[in-house]
Amino acid sequence: MCGIVGFNNKKSKVLASMLKSIKHRGPDDSGKYECEEFSLGHVRLSVLDLSSFGHQPMSYENFEMVYNGEVYNFQEIKIQLEKFGYKFTSNTDSEVILKAYHKWGIKAVDKFIGMFSIAIYDKNLQTVTLIRDRVGVKPLYYYFDEKDFVFSSELKPIMEYKKDLIINKDALYEFFQFGYISSNLSIFENTFKLPAGNYCVFDIKKKKFNIKEYWSILPFFELPKFKKDENELVNELELLLIDSFKYRMVSDVPVGVFLSGGIDSSIVASILQKHYGNIHTFTIGFKEAKYNEAIYAKEVANHIGTTHTEKLLDSKQAKEILDNFVEIYDEPFGDSSGIPTTLVSQVAKDAGIKVVLSADGGDEIFCGYERYWYANHIGKTIFKFPKFIRKSISFMMDLVGVKSVSKLVKIKNFEHKYNQLNEMLKDDSWKNVYEKLIHNSKNYEIKELLGFVKDIEEKSFQVGKKEHPMQGMMLWDYHRYMVDDILTKVDRATMSVSIEGREPLLDHRIAQFMAQVPFEFKYKNGDSKYLLRKVLERYIPKKMIDRPKMGFGIPMFEWFGSDLKELFEENFSNKKLDKHNLLNNKYIRKEYQKFKDGSALNINKLWFILVFQLWHKKYMDEN
């Protein structure tokens, strides 16, 4: 794994500072290419061919390339290229990528199985081509203001290049609603993420660029569904999983697996232990029993025979990670499970592991989140009533007002439930119902905090209309939550300690296969991840599988109600909030008082505000 940067001029000191800001992504080596037209930089984490032959930027004829990621099937592509007369001096996937691009141009990406962010400078055509992998495992930011074109693996290098960046309020809205920034936005204006499955070509002389899509999962849902029985589908899925997982073991350094004891991580660890062997597994637990999955992970590890390491996370360790949280996640990032993910990455690093597999993507591909069937139930109930009836009820609720009704009804958190129901009655689509259920704050709350609300465009529910509403929800998450929350979390956490994270369930061939599987095999008889469960039952006892999903959460109420409460008090003062005047101080103090009184149920509202305050202090106030 590595870090890459580049910009359309020559500034040696700036290039050096940009590379220094992402040294954690590649502590083993660094390299630069500079000319008057374009500069490229690279920091390297050596995983394949540990020799100097893997040094980047890498040159071939008129091309200069920097690259972050892994193309797992590079040996097979290398054989194809050798038949065309290409010679190779290294055993790296980097050299294969560069020469594949030389041979086939952008069509070379169709041959790649892996995760990647690639930048290729063509000295003859004076263009720079950026390519991001199909799913978006590897990050790639770019800045463009009609003059300067800058790209990098993280935001920190762009902040080194541009010192006068302005906060993007649309991105701020997304952060406070979801806890992450999607829509290919970033926290800064003129700064974006290259969309997953896309490439862009920047014309250096004309200072223009075009973005084009080369892959999307959506067309695969248009293909005919498989007409196969359950056993055939389970057999095919198992073979595909085995092949995908074994590809992720391509490495010249030790490999481990993050194991939570849930279905996804258990199937990764089980298949690799059986078909590859000598697997090391790692998990994080908590003293607070209701958050502690470590007991399940240990049970699975003992059954399949991995070398297992477990560590408990307490509030003191969490505070230590929090001190560096906004340094690790260099734009506002609200997923609190980034704390245990960072710790488990450090535990793996301390054990001598340099590559770790994380089982993300299973919920979005195989239908795993409880919110899918919960939202489906809510939506079906609401849409039973004709539109005019829903609108009439909502009108009456607006007319009467929540304050009047709350005097008569003594239900905990009644105001929130009343307003949520009112918002949903106004909805005309499954998309709106789902978004309102996963919002951190409801529209009336976000408007009070920020002063505005916005709508988000998402094509996923077009598929949901044809197949099943839950399929639309899964695709919403596949394009947004998975990429900009889950994958961002794992990339930054692993890279913060200089190890490489790989995502075996996100092989694009698995997603394409599941797009053609009828929905009845994704959620069947009340069982989520139905097909995946059937595969896993071939490796571990069913009793280990049939348990409630917990996830990598942390004891937020417990910690912030005691050991970490001073963080809220310190950062929610009017003095601190007045430094940017982006948020409504009165709203924040009101929500904080609810928490102190014990009446707040959604601590994420305060957590997101705290993260933003810490981020603003680090990157805006100090600059």
Q: What is the DSSP string of 331-342?
A: S----TTHHHHH
Q: What is the pLDDT of residue 553?
A: 64
Residue 240 lies in a domain: yes
Q: Kindly state whether residues 493 and 610 are assigned to the same domain.
A: no
Stretch 544-560: mean pLDDT, rounded?
Answer: 73
Stretch 264-277: mean pLDDT, rounded?
Answer: 94
Q: Kindly state whether residues 452 and 380 are assigned to the same domain.
A: yes
Least Cα distance to 96 among 122, 113, 75 occurs for: 75
Q: What is the pLDDT of residue 458?
A: 77
Contact criterion met (CB below 8 Å) for 147 and 207 = yes
Alpha carbon distance 362, 535 (integer Å): 13
Residue of higher predicted confidence among 56 and 420: 56
Q: Mean pLDDT for the chain?
A: 92
Alpha carbon distance 203, 107 (integer Å): 19
Please, which residues have CB within 8 angstroms of residue 554's CB and are 6 or more apart in sequence? 286, 291, 313, 318, 336, 337, 339, 340
Residue 550 lies in a domain: no
367 catalytically annotated: no
Alpha carbon distance 63, 52 (integer Å): 19
pLDDT in tens, 366-406: 999 999 999 999 999 999 999 989 989 988 988 888 777 77
Q: Which range has the worst mean pLDDT, 97-111, 398-412, 418-432, 437-451?
A: 398-412
Residue of higher predicted confidence among 403 and 433: 433
Query: Does the structure show a pLDDT above 80 at 551?
Result: no
Q: What is the pLDDT of residue 326?
A: 93
Q: Are strands 208-213 and 307-313 parallel, antiparallel or unpaired?
A: unpaired
pLDDT in tens, 219-236: 999 999 999 999 999 999
Stretch 137-151: mean pLDDT, rounded?
Answer: 97
Query: Does the structure show a pLDDT above 90 at 66?
Result: yes
Alpha carbon distance 510, 24 (integer Å): 31
Q: Kindly state whether residues 69 and 143 are assigned to the same domain.
A: yes
Q: What is the DSSP secondary-structure string of 196-243?
A: TTEEEEEETTTTEEEEEE---SGGGGSSPPP---HHHHHHHHHHHHHH
Query: Does the structure show a pLDDT above 90 at 269?
Result: yes
Sheet of 500-502: strand order equals 307-313, 280-286, 255-258, 355-357, 500-502
pLDDT band at 319 (very low <50, low <70, confident <90, very high): confident
Q: Kindly state whether residues 358 and 468 are assigned to the same domain.
A: no
CA distances from residue 391 to 387, 432, 436, 445 in whole angstroms, order as listed: 6, 15, 17, 21
Stretch 36-61: mean pLDDT, rounded?
Answer: 84
Q: Kindly state whether residues 39 and 59 are assigned to the same domain.
A: yes
* Sign of CA pseudo-dihedral 214, 493, 548, 545: positive
Number of domains comprising the chain? 4
CATH code of the domain in which 338 resides: 3.40.50.620
Give the amino acid at 621: D
Least Cα distance to 114 among 1, 23, 219, 211 occurs for: 1
Alpha carbon distance 259, 552 (integer Å): 11
Query: Does the structure show a pLDDT above 70 at 548?
Result: no
Q: Choose the final residue of a domain: 147, 182, 215.
A: 215
- 447 burial class (0-12, 13-18, 19+ CB within 10 angstroms)? middle
Contact criterion met (CB below 8 Å) for 26 and 1 = yes
What domain range is 604 assigned to?
556-621
Cis status of the peptide bond prior to 469, with omega within 30 of 0: no
DSSP alpha helices (H): ranges in 92-136? 93-104
Q: Choose the final residue of a domain: 215, 234, 258.
A: 215
Residue 326 lies in a domain: yes
Query: Does the structure show a pLDDT above 80 at 252?
Result: no
Query: Does the structure show a pLDDT above 60 at 70?
Result: yes
Q: Kindly state whether residues 484 and 569 are assigned to the same domain.
A: no
Sheet of 63-71: strand order equals 58-60, 63-71, 114-122, 127-132, 198-203, 208-213
Q: Which range has the worst mean pLDDT, 292-301, 571-580, 593-602?
A: 593-602
Query: Does the structure show a pLDDT above 70 at 41?
Result: yes
pLDDT in tens, 161-201: 999 999 999 999 999 999 999 989 999 999 999 999 999 99
Q: Kindly state whether residues 205 and 322 are assigned to the same domain.
A: no
Q: What is the pLDDT of residue 181?
A: 96
Q: Choose the final residue of a domain: 152, 185, 215.
A: 215
Query: Does the structure show a pLDDT above 70 at 48?
Result: no
Q: What is the pLDDT of residue 47?
A: 65
Stretch 592-616: mean pLDDT, rounded?
Answer: 89
Tell if the pTM clears 0.85, that is, is over it: yes
CATH code of the domain in which 18 resides: 3.60.20.10
Q: Kindly state whether residues 169 and 36 are assigned to the same domain.
A: yes
Residue 551 lies in a domain: no
Q: Are strands 39-44 and 58-60 parallel, antiparallel or unpaired?
A: unpaired
Q: Kindly state whether residues 32 and 97 are assigned to the same domain.
A: yes
DSSP 466: H
pLDDT band at 549 (very low <50, low <70, confident <90, very high): low
Q: Kindly state whether residues 246 and 204 are assigned to the same domain.
A: no
Residue 267 lies in a domain: yes
Stretch 568-585: mean pLDDT, rounded?
Answer: 90
pLDDT band at 623 (very low <50, low <70, confident <90, very high): low
Residue 134 lies in a domain: yes
Contact criterion met (CB below 8 Å) for 400 and 501 = no
pLDDT in tens, 518-528: 999 999 998 99
Residue 210 lies in a domain: yes
Q: Which of 2, 35, 200, 367 is catalytic?
A: 2
Q: Kindly state whether residues 468 and 484 are assigned to the same domain.
A: no
Residue 582 lies in a domain: yes
Bridge partner residues of 5 (DSSP):
41, 152
Q: What does the block give as tokens for 170?
A: 């649309």
Contact criterion met (CB below 8 Å) for 72 and 105 = no
Q: Kindly state whether residues 197 and 56 are assigned to the same domain.
A: yes
